[in-house]
């Protein structure tokens, strides 16, 4: 009997829908979109798998990969565990005070998100280390015991321990953790030196507290999911914020790494596609119902950052105003999110200017054109009024569209104030939304010293393909890819992810004085830890590879640039190689270098990766026949393209109609899960991978 | 060009993105503690020198660029070339004190001057008698450090090394000084590149007409917002307790009269006392900045920050007064009076708009510490931090956050301070029973305790050592600020001076407490559940829950005794003040 063909299962659980994508060894994909019902989501995913198994009797499930918003939702909705914090005497309030900053400047009614742990459960103990890790005041065991008992009385499920300078010497934290395990074995515990051994106490403490806060919630969630999926033997794997996956066991210990699990999958999918089709520089653009997200892709990799905040609502393009949410310093894709999705509302401000978002009509009442009681105009209403979206129904007929309602909403809410026609207003909404999203894309390009004109846009998400071409125009980009399955594209990212673990260790010192052997030893120590953890999780696979990185800055700057340490560098050359690459990176990012200045190392980082069997987008092209079946009723309708072009007769086609030859805009491609707008002066074709390629003429 | 609301919105967003990018370059590459904490701002002016966009600016910085540009244009006329970089810190040329050094670079496109990019930041030192350059104990600006009128640091791309050497020879920690200036120049040049890209897209005519529209739009929106203020005169008087040299019997009169009439607002400081001997005076540019920042925060927070916003607002500041001193009066230590005037403006506005005005909050206190490290290298550090916001209509204040006059300032982590300077932070947190009581409580005090590892010179700037942050709408005052030397041994309170200088020796500790902020509304109306939460969080004692709020709490069970509370509250008429 031949070995059963493998089936790889990916499922992305969002607030409204769960996307399930199952890939066969032959590249064929089966996709499911089901409603997210929290109590039975595992069972519902199981039913999708069972359905696939019925269609493919000679097959076996070989992997289960999961992307989820459970962690970010727990933070945003304050649904995490009751948690306690034990800190160095004098420092319990920093978690609440943060760095004293605030976002925005003129909002005197701003409300800070409450700390995840209230003051009554933040307790101090006597202990103090110096910057060099020497013990100045020994840890007082008795005070630790008292603190634990007090937290136990307050009913905590988890305790975080964060002491000053523990990144240099973790012994006090380790002792406190041992005491917690002894006094209160049922409580989950994590320490800052274990979660993030990195200098800067607020960021380290906040990250550790987030981890503790999530451990019980994520643990219970994974227990339930594993129970409901117990019929399938492969171990459950979880998408991290950085596009790597980790075994569920690791997710239970370090849930702080999966906060941006959902958005990361889309960026990873775009990066995988870019790598395979040979795009060195691309921007992933994911526009859904409430937000749009942008992520830079360079050399086939989504760009990462370790400076983030969670819980602050929408992550505006500006990065200077911190203090709204909770600091989070774990490697994550550098995804910028703005409040512009299909449901974002259009309005007129006091000065008479048209504004869009960040308020959204949400699922209820939704856009006016959905006919569920919405009366305020949204971006989706504008796209209907412009003739871009089907005026009768979308999603293969599942969602009826009331075009008249869209026009009425725009006319009554905006027309009277601005004195423009419905077409002009709708086009204005479209343009203002583009401007907001332009800011997001600029935040990940120009702000990083990258010229967007050199990049290709990869657009997906329910609304992305509607705005992709005009957004590209704004940014001077002349090429756009709309991948197959744009509506479930994020779930595909789960199928291209590698196993990954990240380690950091602060080792502050001037580069000039670095002992190369000692520095390399720091990396080796992290590598030993990575290998040990991999063994512990029984993933002793061949091909555990390491990438070594360093955080560097000119001495006394406030932030660092993270640079790779070349794999083959000779110990004797390390200082010089790092100095050269830092000067160059600083110049590229900020426009100048100071050759005569002291460079300081802040931290070393190790990225440990195990390659998995990846989805191939070229094989996916094999599914093209399935995706590209005639989705549109061929024909045409009137669509509006601005004052100069006016209303134009616009053809309606399916993706498969573009295979033979390129078609010039104006043109609309209707698919089951998305609508692609090809404005005049753009043309559309389909490449060998099934992507729609939009190209600017001339 | 017809008014195009869409193009305006697009250009507005692009300008915002450009000024933000400029700010990021300054913030991430600057060296000094002040840049790290956020004491800087960036802006773009159009070719006529009109402010059209500001990135990351605190309310009090709103007018800085507006005040400087006329001086630049007056001096240079049309004598600008591509590659010019102008430097200025003269408080009598629009800058508000000399540690603030501003960089201005013209942007040329197709041979024409089309814009200016600007960046300023507060430097850790500017030479002069006192490290830091913002001591109040100077009587003439000549004592305060190196005064730079608008001069070209770069002329057509060529650096003036003689000028630079002269500056660096006059400032403490010159390397850090240069690093900050380079960061600002990098920010300005980044802005210039981005502006040129934008001009390629829209052309100069469209850009200029967008600037016109954005300015008119801001003016129109501000006029509409001012019209909502009930017409009338609103007067607030206060006194300032420190003339720069001390506070014994000092009470300098402060008076502001707001006159709202239709679409215009007149802010008149007539009645304010004559300029002080010490450096606490507000130069006119700072007074204007304070007015614009305060008015915008309350009246028109959504309006764009460009020059159009200030047009309907008239500032009257008598020459020779505390808020418009004559040259060469010293102004380096202007911050405490600026905070007070900001607070006064809020309280005057509260009379007109009681439902929209909170108590702006306290802080902006600073430790300035200079000396030599063990290896002989000089160091200078400024550690700035804050109390929190006062009570607000319908909302509590916020415990520990940059005050409303400031932007998104942030403290330097203790672990970084300890790593870079001979300094240890023993603690940083809340002080119970210090928030102004009110239906909506003001922030509690924040303390910070520094321990010094090297001998050196210290200056501590402290607000509200003598006059507390008062309540509003029946709320009580917050507690006062305080500095205590070596609390565990001599436990001596340091003199109540706004700028207090002393020498420290290794092992000395200063325990600094920032004042609590006033409460809003009658404390007897505060929800007992909120009082209990404060008790459980040890921000309020059981005794003060009763004393300030009339709430009876059973300490053993952590429960409110409601009948007793109602009985106590029924007997009270007046709110009690917070404990000191």
- In B, minimum Cα distance to A202 occurs at B413
Contacts of A621 (CB under 8 A, 6+ apart): A27, A484, A688, A689, A690
CA angle, residues B388, B390, B394, in degrees to nearest 5: 125
Looking at the fold, whether A245 and A148 belong to one and the same domain comes out as no
Contact B20 A92 (CB under 8 A): no
Q: Domain ends where: A387, A415, A432?
A: A432
A98 contact residues in B (CB cutoff 8 A): 410
What range does the domain containing A56 cover?
Answer: 5-73+221-258
pLDDT for B287 equals 97
Angle separating helix axes A403-410 and A422-444, nearest 10 degrees: 80
Q: Select from A377, A385, A382, A338 the least CA-distant residue to A361.
A: A377
Contact A199 B419 (CB under 8 A): yes
Of the candidates A102, A351, A590, the beta carbon closest to that of B401 is on A102
Of the candidates A91, A131, A435, the beta carbon closest to that of B419 is on A131
Contact B426 A90 (CB under 8 A): yes
Contacts of A548 (CB under 8 A, 6+ apart): A523, A564, A565, A567, A604, A605, A606
Looking at the fold, whether A119 and A209 belong to one and the same domain comes out as yes
Of residues A32 and A503, more confidently modeled: A503
Mean pLDDT of A133-154: 98
Q: What is the pLDDT of residues A198-214, one digit of tens each?
A: 999 999 999 999 999 99
Number of neighbours of residue A661 by Cβ within 10 angstroms: 9
pLDDT for B327 equals 96
Q: What is the DSSP string of A140-179?
A: -HHHHHHHHHHHHHTT-SEEEEE-TTTTT--HHHHHHHHH
Contact B408 A350 (CB under 8 A): no
d(CA B331, CA B139): 9
Looking at the fold, whether A214 and A94 belong to one and the same domain comes out as yes
Of the candidates B29, B297, B413, the beta carbon closest to that of A200 is on B413
Looking at the fold, whether A208 and A110 belong to one and the same domain comes out as yes
Looking at the fold, whether A228 and A216 belong to one and the same domain comes out as no
Please tell me the pTM assigned to this model: 0.89
B54 contact residues in A (CB cutoff 8 A): none
Residues A6/A59, Cβ–Cβ less than 8 Å = yes
Mean pLDDT of A165-172: 97
Residue A396 pLDDT level (bands cut at 50, 70, 90)? low
Q: Is A470 within the bounds of a domain? A: no
Contact B190 A354 (CB under 8 A): no
* HEC per residue, A174-210: HHHHHHHHHHCCCCEEEEHHHHCCCCCHHHHHHHHHH
* Interface pTM, i.e. ipTM: 0.93
Does the pLDDT value for residue B450 go beyond 60?
Answer: yes
- The C-alpha of A322 sits at a distance from chain B's nearest C-alpha, in angstroms, of 7
Q: What is the DSSP string of A358-380?
A: EEE-TTTT--GGGTSS--S-BHH
- The C-alpha of A445 sits at a distance from chain B's nearest C-alpha, in angstroms, of 11
Q: Is A628 within the bounds of a domain? A: no
Contact B399 A96 (CB under 8 A): yes
Of the candidates B30, B182, B408, the beta carbon closest to that of A320 is on B408
Looking at the fold, whether A215 and A85 belong to one and the same domain comes out as yes
A685 has which bridge partners?
Answer: A693
Contact A105 B407 (CB under 8 A): yes
A200 contact residues in B (CB cutoff 8 A): 413, 415-416
Contacts of A57 (CB under 8 A, 6+ apart): none
Mean pLDDT of A30-47: 82
A475 contact residues in B (CB cutoff 8 A): none
Contact A112 B398 (CB under 8 A): yes
Percentage of the residues of chain B whose pLDDT score is greater than 70: 97
Domain ranges of chain B: 5-221, 358-523
pLDDT for A480 equals 97
Best of B2, B20, B186, B311 to disrupt the A interface by mutation (most A CBs within 10 Å)?
Answer: B20
Residue A533 pLDDT level (bands cut at 50, 70, 90)? confident
Mean pLDDT of A246-251: 94
Looking at the fold, whether A101 and A195 belong to one and the same domain comes out as yes
- In B, minimum Cα distance to A356 occurs at B9
Percentage of the residues of chain A whose pLDDT score is greater than 90: 56
- How far, rounded to the nearest angstrom, does the alpha carbon of residue A677 sit from its chain's CA centroid? 26
Q: What is the pLDDT of residues A557-593, one digit of tens each?
A: 878 899 999 888 888 899 999 999 999 999 888 878 8
Maximum distance among all Cα pairs of chain A, rounded to whole angstroms = 80
B409 contact residues in A (CB cutoff 8 A): 100-101
B64 contact residues in A (CB cutoff 8 A): none
Looking at the fold, whether A250 and A349 belong to one and the same domain comes out as no
- The C-alpha of B327 sits at a distance from chain A's nearest C-alpha, in angstroms, of 32
Looking at the fold, whether A199 and A97 belong to one and the same domain comes out as yes
Q: What is the pLDDT of residues B17-74, one digit of tens each?
A: 788 889 888 988 888 888 888 889 999 999 999 999 887 667 778 788 999 999 999 9
d(CA A646, CA B402): 50
- Establish whether the linkage from the previous residue to B519 is cis, with ω within 30° of 0: no
pLDDT for B53 equals 85
Contact B408 A557 (CB under 8 A): no
- In B, minimum Cα distance to A561 occurs at B28
Mean pLDDT of A409-416: 91
Contact A438 B14 (CB under 8 A): yes
Contact A94 B402 (CB under 8 A): no
- How far, rounded to the nearest angstrom, does the alpha carbon of residue A137 sit from its chain's CA centroid? 42
Contact B408 A199 (CB under 8 A): no
Mean pLDDT of A103-109: 84
- The C-alpha of A571 sits at a distance from chain B's nearest C-alpha, in angstroms, of 27
Lowest mean pLDDT among A33-47, A435-449, B237-251, B269-283: A435-449
Best of A87, A351, A414, A589 to disrupt the B interface by mutation (most B CBs within 10 Å)?
Answer: A351
Contact B297 A96 (CB under 8 A): no
Q: Is A446 within the bounds of a domain? A: no
Contact B413 A432 (CB under 8 A): no
pLDDT for A316 equals 44
- In B, minimum Cα distance to A122 occurs at B537
Residues A22/A9, Cβ–Cβ less than 8 Å = yes
Contact B429 A108 (CB under 8 A): no
d(CA A573, CA A498): 32
Looking at the fold, whether A127 and A202 belong to one and the same domain comes out as yes
Sign, CA dihedral B130-B134-B139-B142, equals positive
Of the candidates B217, B386, B428, the beta carbon closest to that of A94 is on B428
Looking at the fold, whether A119 and A228 belong to one and the same domain comes out as no
Looking at the fold, whether A606 and A566 belong to one and the same domain comes out as yes
Residue located via tokens 């400031």: B406
pLDDT for A321 equals 53
Mean model confidence pLDDT for chain B: 93
Residues A100/B411, Cβ–Cβ less than 8 Å = yes
| Inter-chain contacts counted by CB atoms under 8 A, chains A and B | 226
Query: What total number of domains does chain A contain?
Result: 4
Mean pLDDT of A480-487: 92
- The C-alpha of A627 sits at a distance from chain B's nearest C-alpha, in angstroms, of 36
Of the candidates A98, A354, A558, the beta carbon closest to that of B9 is on A354
Q: Select from B138, B141, B102 the least CA-distant residue to B119.
A: B102
Residues B457/A120, Cβ–Cβ less than 8 Å = no
pLDDT for A243 equals 92
Q: Domain ends where: A593, A610, A627?
A: A610
A428 contact residues in B (CB cutoff 8 A): 5-6
A118 contact residues in B (CB cutoff 8 A): 536-537
Q: What is the DSSP string of A102-118?
A: -SSSS-TT--PPPPSS-
φ/ψ bin of A165: left (φ > 0), alpha (ψ from -120 to 50), beta (otherwise): left
């Amino acid at each position: 009997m031949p070995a059963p063909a493998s089936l790889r299962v990916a499922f992305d659980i969002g607030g409204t829908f769960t996307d399930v994508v199952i890939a066969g060894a032959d590249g064929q994909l089966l996709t499911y979109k089901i409603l997210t019902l929290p109590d039975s989501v595992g069972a519902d995913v199981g039913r999708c798998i069972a359905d696939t198994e019925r269609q493919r009797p000679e097959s076996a499930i070989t992997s289960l990969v999961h992307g989820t918003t459970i962690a970010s939702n727990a933070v945003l909705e304050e649904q995490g565990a009751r948690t306690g914090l034990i800190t160095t005497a004098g420092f319990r309030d920093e978690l609440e005070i943060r760095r004293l900053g605030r976002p925005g400047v003129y909002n005197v009614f701003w409300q800070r998100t409450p700390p995840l742990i209230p003051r009554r459960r933040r307790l101090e103990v006597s202990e103090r280390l110096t910057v060099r890790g020497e013990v100045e005041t020994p840890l007082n065991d008795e005070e630790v015991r008292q603190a634990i008992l007090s937290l136990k009385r307050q009913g905590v499920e988890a305790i975080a321990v964060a002491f000053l300078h523990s990144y240099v010497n973790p012994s006090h934290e380790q002792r406190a953790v041992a005491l917690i395990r002894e006094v209160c074995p049922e409580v989950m515990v994590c320490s800052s030196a274990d979660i993030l051994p990195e200098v800067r106490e607020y960021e380290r403490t906040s990250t550790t507290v987030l981890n503790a806060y999530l451990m019980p919630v994520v643990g219970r969630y994974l227990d339930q999911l594993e129970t409901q999926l117990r019929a399938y033997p492969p171990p459950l794997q979880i998408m991290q914020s950085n596009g790597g996956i980790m075994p569920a066991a690791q997710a239970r210990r370090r849930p702080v790494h999966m906060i941006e699990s959902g958005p990361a999958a889309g960026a990873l999918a775009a990066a995988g596609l870019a790598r395979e089709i040979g795009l060195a520089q691309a921007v992933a653009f994911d526009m859904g119902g409430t937000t749009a997200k942008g992520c830079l892709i360079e050399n086939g990799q989504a760009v990462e950052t370790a400076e983030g905040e969670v819980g602050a609502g929408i992550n505006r393009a500006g990065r200077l105003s911190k203090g709204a949410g909770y600091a989070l310093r774990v490697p994550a894709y550098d995804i910028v999110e703005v409040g512009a999705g299909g449901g974002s509302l259009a309005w007129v401000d006091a000065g008479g200017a048209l504004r869009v978002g960040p308020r959204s009509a949400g699922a209820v009442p939704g856009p006016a054109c959905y006919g569920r009681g919405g009366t305020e105009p949204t971006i989706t209403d504008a796209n209907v009024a412009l003739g871009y979206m089907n005026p009768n129904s979308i999603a293969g007929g599942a969602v009826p569209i009331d075009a008249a309602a869209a026009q009425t909403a725009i006319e009554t809410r905006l027309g009277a104030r601005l004195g423009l026609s419905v077409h002009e207003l709708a086009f204005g909404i479209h343009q203002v939304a583009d401007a907001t999203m332009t800011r997001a894309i600029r935040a990940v390009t120009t702000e990083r010293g990258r010229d967007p004109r050199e990049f290709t846009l990869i657009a997906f998400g329910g609304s992305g393909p509607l705005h992709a071409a005009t957004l590209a125009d704004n940014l001077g980009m002349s090429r756009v890819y709309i991948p197959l399955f744009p509506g479930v594209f994020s779930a595909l990212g789960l199928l291209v992810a590698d196993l990954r673990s990240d380690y950091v260790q602060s080792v502050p010192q001037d580069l000039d004085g670095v002992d190369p052997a000692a520095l390399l030893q720091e990396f080796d120590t992290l590598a030993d830890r990575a290998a040990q953890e991999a063994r512990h999780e029984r993933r002793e696979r061949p091909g555990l590879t390491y990438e070594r990185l360093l955080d560097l800055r000119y001495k006394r700057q406030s932030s660092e640039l993270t640079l790779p340490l070349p794999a083959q560098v000779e110990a004797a050359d390390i200082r010089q190689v790092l100095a050269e690459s830092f000067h160059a990176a600083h110049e590229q990012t900020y426009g100048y270098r100071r050759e005569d200045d002291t460079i300081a190392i802040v931290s070393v980082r190790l990225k440990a990766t195990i390659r998995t069997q990846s989805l191939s987008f070229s094989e996916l092209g094999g599914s093209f026949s399935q995706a590209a079946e005639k989705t549109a009723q061929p024909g045409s309708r009137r669509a509006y393209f601005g004052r100069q072009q006016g209303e134009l007769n616009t053809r309606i086609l399916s993706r498969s109609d573009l295979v033979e030859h390129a078609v010039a805009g104006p043109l609309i491609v209707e698919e089951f899960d998305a609508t692609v707008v090809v404005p005049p002066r753009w043309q559309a074709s389909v490449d060998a991978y099934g992507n729609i390629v939009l190209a600017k003429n001339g | 060009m017809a008014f195009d609301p869409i193009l305006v919105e697009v250009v507005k967003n692009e300008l915002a993105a450009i000024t933000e990018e400029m700010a990021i370059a300054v913030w991430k590459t600057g060296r000094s503690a002040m840049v790290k904490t956020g004491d800087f701002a960036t802006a773009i002016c159009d070719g006529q020198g009109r402010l059209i966009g500001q990135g990351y600016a605190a309310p009090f910085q709103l007018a800085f660029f507006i005040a400087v540009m006329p001086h630049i244009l007056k001096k240079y006329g049309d004598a600008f070339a591509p590659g010019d970089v102008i430097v200025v810190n003269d408080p009598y040329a629009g800058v508000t004190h000399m540690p603030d050094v501003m960089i201005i670079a013209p942007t040329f496109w197709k041979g024409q001057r089309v814009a200016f990019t600007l960046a300023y930041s507060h430097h850790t030192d500017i030479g002069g008698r006192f490290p830091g350059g913002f001591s109040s104990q100077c009587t003439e600006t000549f004592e305060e450090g190196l005064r730079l009128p608008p001069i070209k640091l770069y002329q057509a791309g060529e650096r003036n090394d003689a000028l630079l050497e002269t500056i660096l020879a006059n400032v403490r920690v010159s390397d850090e000084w240069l690093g900050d200036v380079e960061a600002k120049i990098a920010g300005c040049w980044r802005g210039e590149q981005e502006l040129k890209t934008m001009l390629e897209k829209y052309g100069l005519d469209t850009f200029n007409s967008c600037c016109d529209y954005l300015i008119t739009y801001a003016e129109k929106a501000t006029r509409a917002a001012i019209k909502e203020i009930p017409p009338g005169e609103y007067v607030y008087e206060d006194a300032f307790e420190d003339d720069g040299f001390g506070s014994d019997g000092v009470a300098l009169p402060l008076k502001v009269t707001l006159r709202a009439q239709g679409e215009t607002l007149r802010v008149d400081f007539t009645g304010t006392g004559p300029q002080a001997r010490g450096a606490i005076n507000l130069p006119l540019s700072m007074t204007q900045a304070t007015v614009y920042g305060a008015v915008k925060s309350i009246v028109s927070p959504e309006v764009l920050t460009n020059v159009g916003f200030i047009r309907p607002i008239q500032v009257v500041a008598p020459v020779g007064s505390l808020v418009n001193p004559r040259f060469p009066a010293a102004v380096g230590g202007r911050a405490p009076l600026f905070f007070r005037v900001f607070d006064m403006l809020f309280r005057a506005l509260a009379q007109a708009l009681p439902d929209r005005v909170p108590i702006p909050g306290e802080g902006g206190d600073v430790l300035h510490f200079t000396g030599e490290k063990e290896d002989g290298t000089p160091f200078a550090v400024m550690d700035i931090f804050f109390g929190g916001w006062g009570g607000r209509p319908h909302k509590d204040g916020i415990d520990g956050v940059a005050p409303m006059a400031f932007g998104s300032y942030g403290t330097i982590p203790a672990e970084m301070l300890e790593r870079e300077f001979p300094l240890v932070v023993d603690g940083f947190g809340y002080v119970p029973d210090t928030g102004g009581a009110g239906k909506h409580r003001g922030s509690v005090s924040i303390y910070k305790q520094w321990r010094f590892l090297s001998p050196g010179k210290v200056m501590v700037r402290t607000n509200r050592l003598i006059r507390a942050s008062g309540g509003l709408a029946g709320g009580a005052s917050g507690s006062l600020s305080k500095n205590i030397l070596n609390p565990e041994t001599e436990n001596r309170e340091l003199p109540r001076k706004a700028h207090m200088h002393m020498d420290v020796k290794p092992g000395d500790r200063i325990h600094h407490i920032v004042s609590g902020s006033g409460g809003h509304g009658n404390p007897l109306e505060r929800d007992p559940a909120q009082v209990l939460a404060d008790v459980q969080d040890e921000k309020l004692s059981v005794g003060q829950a009763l004393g300030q709020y009339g709430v009876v709490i059973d300490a053993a069970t952590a429960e409110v005794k409601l009948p007793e509370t109602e009985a106590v509250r029924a007997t009270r008429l007046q709110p009690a003040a917070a404990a000191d």
